[in-house]
Amino acid sequence: MVSVRICPKQNKVVLRDAEWDKKKMIRNIIFDIGNVLTDFRWKGFLQDKGFDEAMIKRIAKASFMSPLWNEVDRGVWDVDKLMQEFVRMDPEIEKELYMAFENIRGMVTKRDYAIPWIQAWKAKGYGVYYLSNFSDKAYTECIDALDFLPYTDGGILSYRERMIKPDEGIYRLLLTRYGLKAEECVFIDDTPQNVEAARALGLSGIVFQTKEQVEEALAELGCA
């Protein structure tokens, strides 16, 4: 889409496209949490528990890397049901699976820049929100890594809503709950599929690689 504007000093019409407009419209920044505002260090967490590389791969295949992990974040299963399903994936390592998930403190850890980064954007007048696939167990046992939450304007953790990204409904819920307009929001996530789902609904999207890379991408959208 191309529109026009009048350049006051030169008194002439200047073409501009939809991207130029979007640079003027971003008012809200929506962050994913895991591997954006925190570290989701599942491999290091299993190493901390003393598992060797071979066992880490088996545990991961039965849990983190299986479709079952979506149900962890969706919050529809209790812990007993979840563990039964993990064990069903690899019955030979039942003991190790229970050892791994008895307590997951240390699986999600702080990133020191989270609070200052949020504060900096809020000081510039932006709304700051979060939208994350997150389990009840992780919230309870890794709560120390989420000390930035009170500094935001709100957000959604998937387990509370029984929905996960990239389901369309969870994005719509965030927009509706906080009265946000999609075209005024930019969503930042380390998973490309989640970013694409946001873009499909009219949000701007940035795939997180580093904080510095995101800062540059935000600047290109006119956020400064």
Structural domains in the chain, CATH included, are: 20-39+107-220 (3.40.50.1000), 42-101 (no CATH)
- pTM higher than the cut 0.85: yes
Measured between its terminal Cα atoms, the distance across the chain in Å is 25
Q: With residue 2 as reference, give the H or E element that holds it.
A: strand 2-7
Q: DSSP secondary structure string, 61-89?
A: HHTTTSTHHHHHHHT-S-HHHHHHHHHHH
Segment 49-57 shows an average pLDDT of: 97
| Residues found in the chain | 224
Q: Do the Cβ atoms of 35 and 208 come closer than 8 Å?
A: yes
pLDDT tens-digit map of 140-187: 999 999 999 999 999 999 999 999 999 999 999 999 999 999 999 999
* E strands present in 98-212: 108-110, 127-132, 155-157, 185-189, 204-207
pLDDT of residue 78: 86
